[in-house]
Structure 1
């Protein structure tokens, strides 16, 4: 039967969806391939889910571009985003999107399970569990899509802001139209709330969503909606199931680090869900994706997250003198999660909720507990700031250092930019090393249209019902 499940899984992967208009080209095989509730439950486990962020990774203050990949290059989506160029209509520069295709392909997988498992043979409890896990993962994928292709959730405008297509069933004839941001979030919340009562604290493997993961996702949804009390309560529930933090200080000082004691996926106890940017080999992409001089300076000189994992001296991958850095530890030595949820993000969400409720002492207690596992020397416990804004700045910066290289900084900038108190104008001076071209200053305003990524061109052509969420023009 595992062979049959593998056949279905390979079919789901092989047939890329065709946008919102028609997102699958296969017919459910039902009992011909997957016969029992257990089979559907096993189908939930997908060890190599990946979300390539190459359409938008440079729209943040944490990422950097080697100068030879910018100077003299024909304009492309990377150079346009890195230079914050709003004069370009980007649609033709995004002919397709691995991120978009994979997210909806995974949603198609979850919909297959949700719509078919009840008719299968087997234990009713297993059916309920399989359906709940698929709903939790469907919520996760819709959350990613709406935060890339739409404006950040703003209570004042979410009901009218264009969102993404909601895929809630397996239907070959489905031709859904785009929902609003508010409708997408309502759907996501419904999925996660319906899933939680049936999930397990300890699933059979880490690729099945746990209760700790589901409550963490629920916390993130509420936080992004600025529903602070609900977000804080969900953080507490998640941490009641898994509150482990991997001690990088001890790992560095007494255990020899990754060269002596490898920590590979799925053996990192603070990781709540294993998804990747590109695959199981994950942060090896960091050899060519650089973190910015600003983020490097934010780490300082005594942070295990930087000292253990990043390199600043290899001229093959970075410009010496730019103060950029790249991740330099093979995935076979240490798995550093980038896009999946982990306990440390839950702690930082909890700290943010406390700060927003003006419990500054409580917020800093959470932050300092994390720093004890991250900072090697010097000032480990930070004092309590005088204001909420200062406290929030510390928490936001800890999020930048703890959740590097994935899409989390992009999401954070978008959501925080909806609040004047926390909005940031990014200013980038470039190049820093090359002296043959004029140095320029590039600016990304909090309300820039660049923060909303256009739907990929191939999808727009296939589905005329899908309209852009920006004011950019279609090239057809």
Structure 2
């Protein structure tokens, strides 16, 4: 491993670099020190780590799907307990769990940032690497925040628990949880700096870009319910990338799995490509889409064919992965930024603008000449439509868990329910279990405070 590389994943997580001299069986300590800017870029291009292992816990916990009792029994204890929001969740120990995956990405970013000042290169290339590292760190922090903290509340943000903010490659610094305000401030600062450094168009969709940083800023501000700033950065992102995919161009044959473009292609909507780590629990053949959610799609809505596979037993699986593979998409796409822009306009009481943006998106989802534009008489009605379409467009992307938490802060009164072997499990709007338990081995090693039950 690279000399002095810290255990920044907080437990058993080692940096796994997948290229060149970093994969030697027994490399010397000297050889493992990054010596060129290309070395740092290789760390940030480690696709299996940075782009294919987004945490799955948010989707496991959310209400887009349900599992049969038989399917649930086939899963491991971590997945079963997450599914029913177990109060004493024993997360998988070691370096193969959501927490470890996220902090490995933080680790990679911090190593790149630590060695960057020692590298030679054009200012443009140096800026690009720094921007990528800050983006990846912020993205990982935001994913951890969505899962392991409560919904942001401006009144309590200075006392609510945030996450550990590891900002450098010093292994000797103690681990502690920041406040929730400090957590979001760090994420936002990283992304604002990254946006000023990144290129408009990356070399590939697995690398961050300026519009990706702006879109992620909008996502962070949405979670904070700072809708004015959310709108500002959604609009900035759309200024640089605003193309939409016309679902009429897709093969709507129900037997076609994964109808979207293969991974790494220049998809019309994808701004930044990443996937959720694969789990059988969320497989299209295992996870059954909530029946009321499926029924909310009208017959002329092409998403009803494109997004779902028919299980031939009155249940449906989700196959609409923008990854174009079995792995769920966790990246950033323009349909999300359009929805954030529409919500911003509605929150600002700009009803006509909100509905114009929403209808522009929806027109691309319906059979040609069948879409009837939605109309709203007030902001509340506009938000109802926007939130309904957000649920449809962004299902199984790791975002619903955050949405439930933020909307419940505004009185949505969303209650999550599971029925397992005839027993009802329920998560009420103010339940502290919306902040999932931190892995117990992390608590034992660092002494940080566990989330309350």
- What is the distance in 1 between the residues matched to 2:262 and 2:324? 6
Tell me the residue number matched to 1:38: 38
Q: Is the 8 A contact 2:152 2:180 kept in 1?
A: yes
Tell me the residue number matched to 1:293: 291
Tell me the residue number matched to 2:23: none
Tell me the residue number matched to 1:65: 67
Tell me the residue number matched to 2:147: 148
Tell me the residue number matched to 2:210: 211
Tell me the residue number matched to 2:436: 453
State the 1:289 CA deviation: 2.4
- What is the distance in 1 between the residues matched to 2:327 and 2:434? 26
SS across alignment from 1:137: helix
Q: Is the 8 A contact 1:219 1:230 kept in 2?
A: yes
Tell me the residue number matched to 1:401: 392
Q: Is the 8 A contact 2:159 2:179 kept in 1?
A: yes
Tell me the residue number matched to 1:185: 184
- What is the distance in 2 between the residues matched to 1:265 and 1:179? 36
1:293-312 superposed matches below 5 A = 293-312=291-310
SS across alignment from 1:116: helix
- What is the distance in 2 between the residues matched to 1:69 and 1:375? 33
SS across alignment from 1:50: coil
Aligned CA distance change for structure 1 residues 211 and 257 (closer, same or farther; 3 Å)? farther
CA deviation profile, 1:59-95 (whole Å, cap 9, x unmatched): 3221110231347x899454455455xxx53233554
CA deviation profile, 1:83-126 (whole Å, cap 9, x unmatched): 55xxx532335546621101100110000111111112333332
Q: Is the 8 A contact 1:41 1:127 kept in 2?
A: no
- What is the distance in 2 between the residues matched to 1:244 and 1:337? 21
Tell me the residue number matched to 2:451: 469
Which range moves more in the overlay, 209-218 or 258-267? 258-267
1:221-236 superposed matches below 5 A = 221-236=220-235
Aligned CA distance change for structure 1 residues 29 and 219 (closer, same or farther; 3 Å)? farther
Tell me the residue number matched to 1:434: none
Aligned CA distance change for structure 1 residues 205 and 33 (closer, same or farther; 3 Å)? farther
State the 1:441 CA deviation: 4.8
- What is the distance in 1 between the residues matched to 2:219 and 2:30? 35
Aligned CA distance change for structure 1 residues 106 and 29 (closer, same or farther; 3 Å)? farther
- What is the distance in 2 between the residues matched to 1:25 and 1:329? 32
- What is the distance in 2 between the residues matched to 1:291 and 1:65? 9
- What is the distance in 1 between the residues matched to 2:281 and 2:369? 28
Q: Is the 8 A contact 1:199 1:211 kept in 2?
A: yes
CA deviation profile, 1:121-173 (whole Å, cap 9, x unmatched): 33333222211211111111111111111111111111110011001101121
- TM-score, normalized by length of structure 1? 0.82
Q: Is the 8 A contact 1:58 1:82 kept in 2?
A: yes
Aligned CA distance change for structure 1 residues 164 and 346 (closer, same or farther; 3 Å)? same
Aligned CA distance change for structure 1 residues 58 and 112 (closer, same or farther; 3 Å)? closer
State the 1:198 CA deviation: 1.4
Q: Is the 8 A contact 2:44 2:132 kept in 1?
A: yes
State the 1:406 CA deviation: 2.6
Q: Which runs of 5+ in 1 are unaligned?
A: 1-6, 315-319, 432-436, 472-476
Matched, 1:47 2:47: yes
Tell me the residue number matched to 1:126: 125
Q: Is the 8 A contact 2:148 2:436 kept in 1?
A: yes
- What is the distance in 1 between the residues matched to 2:323 and 2:175? 43
Q: Is the 8 A contact 2:346 2:379 kept in 1?
A: yes
Aligned CA distance change for structure 1 residues 456 and 181 (closer, same or farther; 3 Å)? same
- What is the distance in 1 between the residues matched to 2:235 and 2:28? 39
Residue correspondences, number: 439
Aligned CA-pair RMSD: 3.6
Matched, 1:340 2:331: yes
- TM-score, normalized by length of structure 2? 0.85
- What is the distance in 1 between the residues matched to 2:433 and 2:282? 28
Q: Which runs of 5+ in 2 are unaligned?
A: 17-26
